[in-house]
Structure 1
């Protein structure tokens, strides 16, 4: 049974004893999961998990400071800036709310192809604002915040936001900031920058989905070292263990952003509908079991086959084997 598949031990038992019933259950489950993947705004958690989003939003509003800024460029690249420099771009409660608002805005940006996430003033993010952390001191508060941020970052990285995303790590990405980098498809780092999961030193563990995503990116053995050692993963080490794609040439805020845009451009050349469809296909291949991923790929083909980009490429008679 494939990891991440909708199949379970119960379904396996049913299949062995009642194969026709199991096949029917699997097909129904596949169909349901495909529909869920398509639904914009779907949350991992809802009231059935004792998660009440509107109540959490009211609580987060009590902790102002900073902003999440979004610039949508004509070239199809969005620039999402974590802007709270007086606190090393730590997330205030209001910033957490604004991040969700920006994700929703990006979901509806049909011309978009790529996204770069960075912090203001040449540093990425130091995690959560400690004022909010201290005030939300009960396990119930921690669980509610965990579910809110997991919902937001899952929407950010999955099928429903079909942009190729890059975290531009300048300076430090600590705690929750390190977790945010894992929600991007790629990570680019400047010389001297670092990613560090400091959660253990705070007496907690990553709560925004960072553990799960880190294991997917670098594997369980490396993830265990990084997390239990609260290791300072500098740019060259990040490159060596597969956490970063590339170490950029410049540490200058403006120049490194230009480098990041140039790096991203090689992957987003072409019509938005084609780039976005490719991202959707890759995401479904990662998230779904093989049968459902293949069916989803078939459906996606139908959205671009015979479309303007396909017909234009055929008319040009491009020969790729030269």
Structure 2
């Protein structure tokens, strides 16, 4: 044994070949934490000191190779100064360069995911062989940083600057065939042949059949691009990537600049450029929030996993109510391999649901996610029916009929009577109380909410709603089924609007008040889109549907009359009831705040409409100019306060879950981290002061809670990771 650590071992065989094995004893996956990096340094020194070695194979004993650096360490590291961050990077560069400079050929055997630092480690060796099921990538730009351990230097020299820009700026995970085509790896083999293939590559290099020194020279030298080629590659890429990334995500463009600045440099000088840019990005709010987002996502997935472990898998499901929503749910279930019955009382609704499912499958075939054969096979997992005949064999039923408590109650009671004793019943309702719907059932403990967001195939969030009598088994089974469907479930307690819609409607309330006071809704949309929302509030209301928003507003007004009493009610005045009165329901009717025209692909495109402008003037108190800052404050403060109330009321279990629900459910700007992280970034004291100022004019929707005031006094935060610099 050359070296023995907790995560790394280096052993020598009888043929003078060493194998460095990554296998962290205390973790289920390999990460390059600061401790593991320390072991790697010791292992490399031991290799350099060992006499008579003729080759090295780097491999992993885990299912994945290395999934990256230990992201849980990032906030603590990044809160330090740029000089300390650069020092850390230079240390790792020294270790990785030492691997690259070993006096014998080296090969990495990639048996699974090799991401971030794991990919960068693999790039240090002379050759790489990859399992056909493995994936390779540098996803750092998704965390607001860039590859900082040599990825911006080595990858362009291996696969070309244009290909490296695509991988790095896009943060993609690349399959084995793509990695081979690009030249990132030298061979792809079945998993069971990986070690044999790695040894074969190494032996060929030892015999001189493969020139490992030429490969090293290529990685240490400037890129082979002349000035004109550089300009064409980098300037074209900057324009394209800037359009895709948008103004709020600087890392992809910065990564291109790093590759460009380092293109004419040798290895060490290019690495210094990379380290300087990494350190600068690591200190940004965007990086801090995106790292927090990753950590929150992991926390949410762990919470879902704990529930799912308590449940047996759902082997057969059913959806009640076909049409677009039912077809979307059926597609999602079938596409992930869970057979599903799709029941309706009308054959035409069944036809519509099947048409929707076929359309979604066809799009996946177009994108090469499925073959035609796979699509045909998965479509057989959807079985349409007009009766309850086969419901006795179903494990879980999702009711997705019209959003009417009487209709839902009747359908749920019918379904329960047809189900087996252990089956779970769930309602896809966006507003109706689960506790109230349970009154129609004889087994309320086996009933919960399962709220999908529209469109089902795109929106990752599912709210699993626990009513007063819902049992743990029902929650666990529904969470497990949502995960089987590829969704991110978040368990919430019952209340009007549940979690996401309850938080969203004060945002709409802020919008309605702005319009009533004379703000131009088009300007409000533009300001909030520049803030980072995928669409402004007027446009969002058009997409949601004005009638849907009015109904939900009535539910909120009834549930929270003290602060949301003015948000709903057909007689309550305001712009939303006026739109409904004039049958301007949004995209569904072709007109709302905007008019809609189909583009060449048949998708609705918004255009300004003079009739809408004239209608809005009827509810406005003249015209008034608001600054960008005023619009943002009046929109964001009520939304954030409602998120605080949901956490304090126990509707959601953690700040992480609250923030992720908003990001996954309504497109809250990811780079801002969520509503509660937004308060953290501003500071609770400053946020409370801003809210109090608005509440004096606008009322209780803007009034901070007592709990938030206490947080402001004591300097507490919702997220207890490291403070941003």
Q: TM exceeds 0.5?
A: yes
Q: Does residue 205 of structure 2 align to residue 260 of structure 1?
A: no
**Deviation string for 1:110-164 (max 9, x for gaps)?**
3111111112223110111123223212334422221110111011102xx1121
Q: Does residue 98 of structure 2 align to residue 155 of structure 1?
A: yes
Kept after mapping to 2: 8 A contact 1:87/1:129: no
Equivalent position to 2:180, from 239, 242, 249: 239
Report the equivalent of 2:666: none
Q: Residues 213 and 265 (structure 1 numbering): CA distance in 2 closer, same or farther, change over 3 Å?
A: same
Q: CA offset at residue 99 of structure 1?
A: 0.8
Equivalent position to 1:75, from 15, 22, 35: 15
Q: Residues 170 and 285 (structure 1 numbering): CA distance in 2 closer, same or farther, change over 3 Å?
A: closer
Structure 2's unaligned 5+ residue stretches are: 223-725
- Highest Rg: 1 or 2? 2
SS at match of 1:178: helix
Q: CA offset at residue 280 of structure 1?
A: 5.8
Q: How far apart in 1 are the matches of 2:95 and 2:213?
A: 18
Matched ranges for 1:268-307 at <5 A: 268-269=206-207, 283=216, 287=220
Q: CA offset at residue 286 of structure 1?
A: 6.5
Q: How far apart in 2 are the matches of 1:286 and 1:110?
A: 26
Structure 1's unaligned 5+ residue stretches are: 1-64, 290-322
SS at match of 1:95: helix
Equivalent position to 1:212, from 153, 177, 189: 153
More deviation, 179-188/255-264: 255-264
SS at match of 2:191: coil
Q: Residues 212 and 246 (structure 1 numbering): CA distance in 2 closer, same or farther, change over 3 Å?
A: same
Q: How far apart in 2 are the matches of 1:84 and 1:223?
A: 30
Q: How far apart in 1 are the matches of 2:221 and 2:156?
A: 17
SS at match of 1:266: helix
Q: How far apart in 1 are the matches of 2:158 and 2:200?
A: 23
How many corresponding residue pairs? 214
Matched ranges for 1:93-242 at <5 A: 93-138=34-79, 139-158=82-101, 161-242=102-183
Q: How far apart in 1 are the matches of 2:35 and 2:122?
A: 20
SS at match of 1:136: helix
More deviation, 71-80/192-201: 71-80
Q: How far apart in 1 are the matches of 2:156 and 2:218?
A: 17
SS at match of 1:121: coil
SS at match of 1:204: coil
Q: CA offset at residue 267 of structure 1?
A: 2.1
Kept after mapping to 2: 8 A contact 1:174/1:197: yes
Q: Residues 287 and 251 (structure 1 numbering): CA distance in 2 closer, same or farther, change over 3 Å?
A: closer
SS at match of 1:267: helix
Q: Residues 244 and 284 (structure 1 numbering): CA distance in 2 closer, same or farther, change over 3 Å?
A: closer
SS at match of 2:207: coil
SS at match of 2:53: coil
Kept after mapping to 2: 8 A contact 1:182/1:214: yes
Kept after mapping to 2: 8 A contact 1:76/1:111: yes
Q: How far apart in 1 are the matches of 2:145 and 2:37?
A: 19
Q: How far apart in 2 are the matches of 1:282 and 1:128?
A: 26
Q: How far apart in 2 are the matches of 1:155 and 1:131?
A: 27
RMSD across aligned C-alpha pairs, in angstroms? 2.4
Q: Residues 151 and 262 (structure 1 numbering): CA distance in 2 closer, same or farther, change over 3 Å?
A: same
Kept after mapping to 2: 8 A contact 1:162/1:279: no
Report the equivalent of 1:317: none
Q: Does residue 23 of structure 2 align to residue 90 of structure 1?
A: no
**Deviation string for 1:53-80 (max 9, x for gaps)?**
xxxxxxxxxxxx9422101112122111
Higher relative contact order (CA 8 A, sep 6+): 1
Kept after mapping to 1: 8 A contact 2:123/2:155: yes
SS at match of 1:118: strand
Q: CA offset at residue 201 of structure 1?
A: 0.7
Q: Residues 149 and 261 (structure 1 numbering): CA distance in 2 closer, same or farther, change over 3 Å?
A: same
**Deviation string for 1:231-285 (max 9, x for gaps)?**
221110011011111101x313xx4213321332222138xxxx9xx75687468
Report the equivalent of 2:628: none
Report the equivalent of 1:31: none
Kept after mapping to 2: 8 A contact 1:222/1:241: yes
Q: CA offset at residue 188 of structure 1?
A: 0.5
Kept after mapping to 1: 8 A contact 2:136/2:174: yes
Q: Residues 83 and 141 (structure 1 numbering): CA distance in 2 closer, same or farther, change over 3 Å?
A: farther
Kept after mapping to 1: 8 A contact 2:58/2:108: yes
